[in-house]
Amino acid sequence: MAPTDSQNSPIVVIGFGPVAARLVDSLLPAVRSGALSLTVIGDEPHPAYNRVLVADLGVGRTTASDIALADRDELEAAGVVLRLGVCVRRVDRARQLVHLSDDSAVAYGRLVFATGARPVVPNLARLNPDPQLPIRLPAGVITLRNLDDAATLHRAVQGRRRVVILGGGILGLEAALAAADEGARVTVVHHGPHTLGRSIDANAGKVLAAALRARGIRVAANSRSTGVLLGQPDGGTPASAAGPDSGTRAPASFSALELDDGTTICGDLLVLSCGVRARTEVAAGAGLATGRGILVDHGLQAHHDPQVFAMGDCAEVRCLDEQCADCRGSNGPSGLIGPGWRQAEWLAGVLLAGVLPAGAQPPGAQPTGAQPAGPRAALAPEQPPVIVLKARGVDVAAAGNVAAEPFDEPAEGADPGHAAGSFPAAPPLSVSTWADPEHGQYLKMATRAGVLEGFVSVGMPRAGAELVLLFERGAELPADRSELLRLDAAGMPAGAGGAPDSTVCRCAGVDRQTIAAAVVNGCGTVAEVSAATRAGTGCGGCHGEVRALIEQHFQPAPA
Ligand SMILES: Cc1cc2nc3c(=O)[nH]c(=O)nc-3n(C[C@H](O)[C@H](O)[C@H](O)COP(=O)(O)OP(=O)(O)OC[C@H]3O[C@@H](n4cnc5c(N)ncnc54)[C@H](O)[C@@H]3O)c2cc1C
């Protein structure tokens, strides 16, 4: 077969995380047919896996094979060149060459950055002593990002060890709840007065704190950590100063976290959960524009280089044209798998243009309910992010601004009664709350002209799910807010609430209708629905709802 343009223009992907895996999946038929040449370079030794489930793997709730997203043999048999366990050190854009840590180089025609993000390592004494050197964490300190981290957590959980989690954000809490459920003794250490401090209000924080305590989790609030103490795993004296490990002794391992009030929190494993930062260093070294991520336009093309693209956790979608309507509201990388997967599907369509016969459907555009519809599909969500805690028996959902209280004075100019001049005044913010601390329930809804601007729900899974839906749609709340409370009343049927086109799986963007159709067509388990629709293949937070829809379908019809 005569070489095509695309064969002369090999595609090289840097990074093999879940977003790259989706791109590779979508390009695979074209590679198999010989229409595309594809090389994937990943510095982890294994093919891509579902990183979202690393904590579940760490507590023993899933297996490495269950979270695998790619099969090395299958990809190589199709013609994909995999370079795993090697790192891209440098990109020479003038010569279109990628230089690797094993001193080899790979030529590209089109280059895709899918380098993801790396966890933030806080500046703590004895954790990162030399700012000039790459960070090497001491034994007993992990960041919970990869399979090695999961294996370390697994050993601690199996041994019912003391796990200290630094950071009270969503990932820290999910890991804490899962580890405590599986038998570890867990302490969460965080700055503010309550966990999820950026997303929920103080009252929700109190209800959540009680739920954490009820699960045996110790919470050290308002705590500023200053350093770690290292000791011998056999219980030797903690090292009070950094120093090389000497002789045949085992390497010093984490033994305690020091706080600024002079107290310490002892433990066997420290999990750092202090946020992530996009991996932009290789792109920046190649002279590409970077901000909070690698800067790309809404077609995912790097600024000033049409041969280079970026997607997923490393990409910041922001056009050079500041007035671009498609990029308005873009706010750095989303850090979420759903937008990354949609970007990968979109980019596959771009890379396949001119390769597929006219009229052929790009393989990325599978019937997932999340087909790229246009340039906007490549964007990160423009709304403030919705957070949903994934934990057994602790339900938290929140979004938007939840600081206002029901009896706050309206802001100047917000109340039509105070309108001055010819500017129409913004309608006032109206706040409704419901609190039942004894039963672990709390709800706050802040609306303007009936439309949600922010909400938080604790211990009320169905009201929370309904509010997520209303928030994402910008829809009006029922005038009688107590309708939402009734969703969590005892005796409500499974699967109640939710319009047919409401999204059930937010990672893969699959709605109720698509899942219901799969069930009608014979899918009787969550796994079967996942295989048919991709629902539930991301964080797994929707498995309960998918199960409820299956049960609803198979319920005997009332006589
Ligand atoms: C514990 C945990 C829980 C999470 N939970 C959720 C959740 O519930 N919902 C959600 O939406 N998201 C969640 N996330 C975030 C989600 O995992 C990320 O959004 C997703 O992994 C992004 O995928 P990516 O492929 O863009 O980047 P990554 O997953 O970071 O993969 C990038 C890959 O590129 C490699 N790489 C980087 N630089 C180089 C280089 N120079 N050379 C070679 N290889 C390189 C990296 O080693 C890595 O393998 C969670 C993440 C974690 C860690």
Tokens 């120093």 found at: 243
DSSP secondary-structure letter at 125? Answer: B
Q: What is the pLDDT of residue 473?
A: 84
Q: What is the pLDDT of residue 493?
A: 57
- Ligand 1 pocket, residue 507 CB under 6 Å: yes
- Between 247 and 34, name the one with better pLDDT: 34
Q: What is the pLDDT of residues 186-198, one digit of tens each?
A: 999 999 999 999 9
Q: What is the pLDDT of residues 439-462, one digit of tens each?
A: 999 999 999 999 999 999 999 988
- Ligand 1 pocket, residue 272 CB under 6 Å: no
- Mean pLDDT score, 10-28: 97
pLDDT at position 355 over 70: yes
Give, in degrees to the nearest 5, the angle at Cα 335 between 45 and 27: 55
Closest Cα to atom 11 of ligand 1: 336
Q: What is the pLDDT of residues 402-436, one digit of tens each?
A: 999 999 877 665 544 444 455 566 788 999 999 99
Look up residue 517 and give its amino acid: A
Per-residue b or e along 190-204, where b marks 16 or more CB atoms closer than 10 Å to that residue's CB: beeebbbbebbbebb
pLDDT band at 367 (very low <50, low <70, confident <90, very high): very low
* Residues comprising the chain, all counted: 559
Q: How far is the CA of 69 from the centre of ligand 1 (A)?
A: 13
pLDDT at position 489 over 90: no
Q: Which helix (H) or strand (E) holds 549?
A: helix 543-554
* Pair 263, 276: CB distance under 8 Å: no
- Ligand 1 pocket, residue 523 CB under 6 Å: no
- Between 8 and 402, name the one with better pLDDT: 402
Centroid of chain to Cα 536: 14
**Interatomic CA distance for residues 278 and 311, integer angstroms:** 11
Q: How far is the CA of 422 from the centre of ligand 1 (A)?
A: 50
**Inter-axis angle of helices 170-181 and 202-214, nearest 10:** 20
- Ligand 1 pocket, residue 44 CB under 6 Å: yes
Q: What is the pLDDT of residue 498?
A: 63
DSSP 484-522: HHHTTSTTPPTT-S--TTSEEETTTTEEHHHHHHHHHTT
| Closest to 282 (Cα-Cα) out of 446, 429, 114 | 114
Among 260-269, 394-403, 466-475, where is mean pLDDT lowest? 466-475
| Closest to 144 (Cα-Cα) out of 126, 169, 125, 114 | 169
- Mean pLDDT score, 523-537: 91
Q: What is the largest CA-CA distance in the chain?
A: 80
CA dihedral 311, 315, 316, 317 (to 10 degrees): -20
pLDDT at position 182 over 90: yes
- Ligand 1 pocket, residue 472 CB under 6 Å: no
Q: Which two tokens stand for residue 303?
A: 């600024």
Closest Cα to atom 5 of ligand 1: 52
Distances (CA, A) of 229 to 85, 120, 257, 258, 263: 32, 19, 6, 7, 12
SS3 of 456, please?
A: strand
Q: How far is the CA of 496 from the centre of ligand 1 (A)?
A: 34
Q: What is the pLDDT of residue 241?
A: 42
DSSP secondary-structure letter at 12? Answer: E
Q: What is the pLDDT of residue 548?
A: 86
What percentage of the chain carries pLDDT values higher than 70? 84
Q: What is the pLDDT of residue 487?
A: 86
* Pair 163, 183: CB distance under 8 Å: no
Among the atoms of ligand 1, which is closest to the Cα of residue 87?
42
Centroid of chain to Cα 71: 23
Closest Cα to atom 10 of ligand 1: 336
Give, in degrees to the nearest 5, the angle at Cα 299 between 373 and 81: 100
Q: What is the pLDDT of residues 124-169, one digit of tens each?
A: 999 876 666 677 899 999 999 999 999 999 999 999 999 999 999 9
H runs (alpha helix) in 191-300: 202-214, 281-285
Q: How far is the CA of 25 from the centre of ligand 1 (A)?
A: 17
**Interatomic CA distance for residues 37 and 172, integer angstroms:** 40
- Between 489 and 145, name the one with better pLDDT: 145
pLDDT at position 116 over 80: yes
Q: What is the pLDDT of residue 251?
A: 76
pLDDT band at 7 (very low <50, low <70, confident <90, very high): very low
Q: What is the pLDDT of residue 518?
A: 92
Distances (CA, A) of 345 to 242, 367, 463: 47, 12, 32
Give, in degrees to the nearest 5, the angle at Cα 26 between 513 and 317: 85
Q: How far is the CA of 536 from the centre of ligand 1 (A)?
A: 18
Q: What is the pLDDT of residue 492?
A: 64
pLDDT band at 320 (very low <50, low <70, confident <90, very high): confident
- Mean pLDDT score, 456-477: 90
- Mean pLDDT score, 81-88: 98
Q: What is the pLDDT of residue 85?
A: 97
Best mean pLDDT range from 71-85, 332-346, 517-531:
71-85
| Closest to 257 (Cα-Cα) out of 136, 173, 141 | 141
**Interatomic CA distance for residues 499 and 223, integer angstroms:** 43
**Interatomic CA distance for residues 76 and 444, integer angstroms:** 52
* Pair 63, 158: CB distance under 8 Å: no
- Ligand 1 pocket, residue 172 CB under 6 Å: no
- Mean pLDDT score, 278-286: 97
Closest Cα to atom 35 of ligand 1: 15
Other CB atoms within 10 Å distance of the CB of residue 171: 22
Q: How far is the CA of 479 from the centre of ligand 1 (A)?
A: 41
Q: Which helix (H) or strand (E) holds 19?
A: helix 18-32
Other CB atoms within 10 Å distance of the CB of residue 501: 12
Q: How far is the CA of 171 from the centre of ligand 1 (A)?
A: 13
pLDDT at position 246 over 70: no
pLDDT band at 357 (very low <50, low <70, confident <90, very high): low
- Ligand 1 pocket, residue 338 CB under 6 Å: yes
- Mean pLDDT score, 105-118: 97
**Interatomic CA distance for residues 458 and 240, integer angstroms:** 42
The per-residue pLDDT of the chain, averaged, comes to 86
H runs (alpha helix) in 141-245: 147-158, 170-181, 202-214
Q: What is the pLDDT of residue 331?
A: 79
pLDDT at position 537 over 70: yes
| Closest to 401 (Cα-Cα) out of 392, 411, 391 | 411
